[in-house]
Structures are given as structure tokens and as C-alpha cells.
Amino acid sequence: MLGGEGESTSFSSKEAAGDRRKSPAVEAEDPAAGSRYTEHGMGADRSYYLHSTVSKQSPETPSPCSFIPYTPCGTVYTPSSATRYPSSLHLGSVLPPAGFSPSSGRSHFSPAYQLGQSPGCLYPPYTSSGSALSNLNLPTIGPGMRAQVYLCNRPMWLKFHRHQTEMIITKQGRRMFPFLSFNIAGLNLTAHYNVFVEVVLADPNHWRFQGGKWVTCGKADNSSQGNKVYIHPESPNTGAHWMRQEISFSKLKLTNNKGTNINTSQMVVLQSLHKYQPRLHIVEVTEDGVEDISSEGKTQSFTFPENQFIAVTAYQNTDITQLKIDHNPFAKGFRDNYDSMYAAPENDRLTPSPTSSPRAHQIVPGARYAMQPLFQDQFVNNLPQNRYYNSERAVPQTNSLLSPQAEDATSQRWFVTSMQQGGNGTSTNKLDLTPYDGEYSSSLLPYGIKSLSMQTSHALSYYPDSPFTTMSAGWGSRAAYQRKVSPSLPWSPRPSTTTGFPEDLDKVKAQIEEEVNGSASLISSWTETQPSALSLDKADSYSTACKRRRLSLNGPITEDSISDIKCEDLASAAINSSSYIKDAPSSKCMAAYYSFYTNP
């Protein structure tokens, strides 16, 4: 079942004979799967750490990212027909414990591989069992190291997650929105990896939207068939490649057509009204993409609970619908006041919003990019005044600025090391954002956040597979967009891993602090603003943003860029480990991100 159809297509040109399998093409009953990883510290106490048995990993090797608590209760429901990768490295959001201290970091990078679970171990609640990330360091480069994965558009996922994300599935396949987008660090630069996403049942229930909320309704149909794996089209590729840029799965499509033979490699077959959990798998393979089964521990899996969603054939929750409309550029036609968004008076366009969020100054360089307000709800909570204020779509600075995650400015990247998400025993699957809010500033600021301001001219495709994201990856030609990047822009097409960091640190920090100051509403619930309340303010702010966009050729760095910078930094720093790992301004940057996850 796992990866059946998809893999064949993806690797058809690289078929390799022999007994070696191609990842993720693996027999469902891979005997090694269940024992691929060893776990340590399993016990009643949730606060312990696991050391995976990733091959070549030296136990003594201090981890760049430390200690992430592991919780025995898994997040992903694993029916009897477990896939080959039951041992999900569950990398929940990093939620430092209450006692989080900048100096409390530990030095062991401990991917917490979760062994296969019985169906009885159901979807565990998202918890904030803490982990201090203060001593976060950039990943070391070398064989056997564990990967660290960052969910690039996590804030957006969180917005949806608050209302229980829904994903449309159709016969011909529907893209996910938000889509999965990651940054990976800690890979061996020269080793080859397959990167793919597997979508597994998150719990054993059938769901129904009733009375304005999702309720369980019977048991899930475990007999699902069809492809559950989407292999990144760039697979296989080197660690350097994967770490060089954001890894987007925007082309991944969800379908309920089990019999489809069309584009099966792009399709993940799901069942409506079932809850799913995407997993990211990174499998070390040979150069031709063949997984070498002779060595264990070359598979690492990452799970972000906020990526969970319920597959539907029609949206059930209007909040989700509104979020989709507001965020997805392809749904722009359904936005209210769209026509008026560009009709605001000149002065309105140039005048910062009264409530000027920290993004007020995020004037975007590259006015050429007459982009639409994609960042409008970077923080939907700022609605209505700020909702569309900083709706610049084009921020030609990083590889993801035009991507939806770009709008999620400050906390855009979510670093996940080998951590097992904790479970707190609650029954909700929603991420608890309350502590997130509360600790937003308290944990973030005190620790001397210094983000790296890596300026790039990455342009801004809404999707991560934007020109700059993909150009180096060879995903089709996007010259038409690439060339639009003005050479006069002060940043380079590819983020320099070194230049410009120090001098921008303060600037970035200041911006982050501004974010923090305005964070009260940042994380507030979307429901605070009814969809129907998309007021005229929206149009005004929209217009303002658009105007600003047009006129701001050389504005200051945007938060979006900062976020991407961080993201890029992490990856590029990993590539250029020598000079920055130690100083690790990026570490602090990452720590800052971590800080968004806090415990009450």
C-alpha cells in the first residue's frame, strides 16, 4: 500500500535492479520497519529523551539542537496495516517548558522515533511538553547526523488548525492549502536522499461536522487503498540540495479516487471525513535513488501535529472556507471587496495603518512585482484594521516570500528536531495557542534574539516552488520571473550564507521585537473576527498595501524576508557550517522561533 503507485512513476527512469528497494517503495510488512529504531527512556514519564539509531550517528556527538522531550503516546494512528514507516519521528512543535531558560539547553540531539503503535494508541493531544531550545546550534555536518526539519508555513497551519483544518479531495485531485513546506538541516551534504510525504490516518474515527464542530462518528475505514505517499519530484537529491532551499509539496494533490491511474505519483488517496496526518520522510539512498536496505537508520520521519486535517469533499466549517479564501491566491475571486482593494486613495495607500502592526514598515523592494495581497492575513487576528494592511505579495527577498508561509512572518519557520511531541492527556487535537500567546514575548525577547538578515532577491511566487525556490532545483523554467529580479537590489539571488548577517541582526531583532509587541492580537483567534465582518477596512488596508507595494522599491526588510532569512540561514548555514555554526547567530534566531512555542 505504501508508496505503491507513486514510487514507480517517480523512479521509473532510475530503476535499479537488484534487491534494493527504492524508497519509499517498501513492502508494507517490512520486518525492519518495526525495529528500525530503538527507543530509550520509554516510560510513564513523558519527559525523557530518545536516541534514534540513525546509522553513523555517534552517540557522543552533541546535537546542535538539543533535547526534545519525547512522549510515548504517538500522534498518528497506526492501523494494523501499518505503513513501512511506523516509527514516526514525531516532531511536534517545540514547546519549551515553563522553566525554559536560555541556559537550560542540553546537548543531545535526540530524534525521537516513535515505534509502531497499536491502534489503541490514538491521536494524542497536542501538547506543549517543553523543551528548551536555548542552546540551539546549527546542525553539524557530517555522516550520520540527524536531520532537523522546519515547517516553513507553520503559522498559517496553526491558523487553520485552530478551526480544524479541512482539505478538499476531488476525483481529479485537489492541492492542499496550506501546503506542506519544509526546510531541512542537518543532512549530509553529499549523501543522497529521497524526501517524501506520507499521509496517514491520524485517528481511528470517522468524523462529521455537526453543530458547528467536528465530532467523531463511528470508526474510520482502515481499509483504505491507494497511494498514500507523495515523493518530492526532486528526489533523489543530495543533502546539500535539500538544505539549500525550502522544500515545497505544493503540487501534492489529494483525491478520493482510489481507482485513479492518472498522475498517481502526484496523488494521495484519502477518504472523506477522515482525519489525516502528513508525515515527512527523509530517506538516505544511493545516488540513483535506491534505498540501501543494508543499513538501518537511514530513514527519518517528521510529524507536525498542526498539519493534521480532515479530508472533505466540500468545506464544512465556514471559518476554514474563509481562511482558504483569504489566503489562497487562487481563491481571490471569492474575496470580498476585491475590486475595491486597489481603489483606495493615494494617501491611504501610503499611510500606515493606525494600528500599524510591526509590518507597517515592511515595504517591499521590487515594486515590479505587482503582487496581490498574499500576506494579508499574516496575522488574521489583526483584523480588521491590519488584516490586509501588509498584504504585499511580492517581497522579492527570499525564496518563499510569495508563498503563503511567507505571510507568516516572524514565526514562519518552525524547527523540529528529533523530538517526540508530548501528550498532555487532553482530548483536543488543537494546538493550544494560549500559552503560545502568553509566552510569545516573555520567552522570546529575553533571550537576545538575533535573527539573521539574509537578504535575497528571491522572488515571490506565491507557492514555495517559486522561481528562487526552484530555479536551483531545476524545477522547470521560470526564467521569466527570475530575470525580473533587479540586479540592483541589495541582495543576492541566493542567500549568502555569510554576508550581511551581523549588521542585520539588530535590525531583525528589532523587527521581531516589534512583532512581539504587537503579538497580543497576532495569535488571537480568527473567530474573533467574523468572516462576514470583512469590513471596509479590509479594502483600505488592502489598497494601502498594494499601493505601498507599488511604490516601495527599496523598503526595509520585511518580516517575511526575515523569516525566510532565518529559514535560509538554517539551511545555508548548515551547508557552510564552518563559519557560522559556532557564532551561531542563527542559533539564536532559531531559539527565537522556538520561543514561540512556550508553555504556560
CB of 175 to DNA, least distance (A): 4
Q: Would you say 297 and 223 are in contact if contact means Cβ atoms under 8 Å apart?
A: no
For residues 48 and 319, give the distance between their C-alpha atoms in angstroms, rounded to a whole number: 38
Site membership for DNA, residue 534 (CB under 7 A): no
For helices 154-162 and 318-327, give the axis angle rounded to 10 degrees.
160
Angle formed at CA 179 by CA 261 and CA 155, multiple of 5 degrees: 165
Which span sits near DNA by CB under 7 A: 89-97, 226-234, 309-317, 430-438? 309-317
Interface with DNA (CB under 7 A), residue from 478, 509, 549, 566: 478
For residues 573 and 589, give the distance between their C-alpha atoms in angstroms, rounded to a whole number: 12
CB neighbours (10 Å) of residue 513?
16
- Name the DSSP letter for residue 430: S
Which span sits near DNA by CB under 7 A: 299-307, 326-334, 551-559, 578-586? 326-334
Nearer to DNA, 423 or 467 (CB): 467
Interface with DNA (CB under 7 A), residue from 229, 243, 247, 273: 273
Site membership for DNA, residue 278 (CB under 7 A): no
Residues 24-83 that bind DNA (CB under 7 A): none
Angle formed at CA 110 by CA 498 and CA 592, multiple of 5 degrees: 45
Site membership for DNA, residue 561 (CB under 7 A): no
Nearer to DNA, 114 or 372 (CB): 372
Contact partners, residue 363, CB within 8 Å, separation at least 6: 392, 548, 551, 552, 555, 556, 558
Site membership for DNA, residue 222 (CB under 7 A): no
Q: Would you say 80 and 119 are in contact if contact means Cβ atoms under 8 Å apart?
A: yes
Rg of the chain over Cα atoms, rounded to whole angstroms, equals 22
Binding mask 366-385 for DNA (x = CB under 7 A): --x--xx-------------
Nearer to DNA, 111 or 467 (CB): 467
Site membership for DNA, residue 272 (CB under 7 A): yes
- Beta bridge partners, 309, equal 276
C-alpha distances in Å from residue 172, one per residue of 258, 273, 559 = 11, 18, 37
Nearer to DNA, 308 or 466 (CB): 466
Residues 226-255 that bind DNA (CB under 7 A): 253
Interface with DNA (CB under 7 A), residue from 21, 106, 108, 174: 174
Strands 181-185 and 247-248: antiparallel
Site membership for DNA, residue 317 (CB under 7 A): no
Interface with DNA (CB under 7 A), residue from 126, 177, 542, 596: 177
Site membership for DNA, residue 324 (CB under 7 A): yes
Interface with DNA (CB under 7 A), residue from 140, 486, 496, 576: 486
**Short-list 275, 251, 227, 256, CA closest to 169:** 256
Nearer to DNA, 408 or 439 (CB): 408
Site membership for DNA, residue 315 (CB under 7 A): yes
For residues 487 and 121, give the distance between their C-alpha atoms in angstroms, rounded to a whole number: 55
CB of 236 to DNA, least distance (A): 22
Which span sits near DNA by CB under 7 A: 167-175, 221-229, 279-287, 418-426? 167-175
**Short-list 152, 150, 147, 97, CA closest to 127:** 97
Site membership for DNA, residue 492 (CB under 7 A): no
Q: Would you say 184 and 195 are in contact if contact means Cβ atoms under 8 Å apart?
A: yes
Nearer to DNA, 166 or 540 (CB): 166
Peptide bond into 97 cis (omega under 30): no
Site membership for DNA, residue 533 (CB under 7 A): no
Interface with DNA (CB under 7 A), residue from 100, 126, 157, 209: 209
Q: Give me the numbers of helices (H) and strands (E) for the chain, helices first please.
A: 14, 17
- Beta bridge partners, 312, equal 168
Give backbone dihedrals phi and psi of 159, rounded to 5 degrees, phi first: -60, -45
Which span sits near DNA by CB under 7 A: 61-69, 357-365, 432-440, 480-488? 480-488
**Total number of residues binding DNA (CB under 7 A)?**
50
SS3 194: strand
Interface with DNA (CB under 7 A), residue from 62, 218, 476, 502: 476
Site membership for DNA, residue 449 (CB under 7 A): no
Nearer to DNA, 69 or 178 (CB): 178
Site membership for DNA, residue 262 (CB under 7 A): no
Site membership for DNA, residue 170 (CB under 7 A): yes
Give backbone dihedrals phi and psi of 160, rounded to 5 degrees, phi first: -70, -40
**Short-list 320, 380, 420, 397, CA closest to 559:** 397
Site membership for DNA, residue 342 (CB under 7 A): no
Q: Is 551 left (phi over 0), alpha (psi -120 to 50) or beta?
A: alpha
SS3 116: coil
Nearer to DNA, 330 or 502 (CB): 330
Site membership for DNA, residue 160 (CB under 7 A): no
Site membership for DNA, residue 312 (CB under 7 A): yes
Q: Would you say 42 and 19 are in contact if contact means Cβ atoms under 8 Å apart?
A: no
Site membership for DNA, residue 462 (CB under 7 A): yes
For residues 284 and 335, give the distance between their C-alpha atoms in angstroms, rounded to a whole number: 44
Site membership for DNA, residue 330 (CB under 7 A): yes
Contact set with DNA (CB under 7 A): 168, 170-172, 174-175, 177, 208-209, 253, 256-257, 272-273, 312-316, 321, 324-325, 328-334, 338-339, 368, 371-372, 402, 461-463, 465-467, 476-478, 480-481, 483-484, 486-487
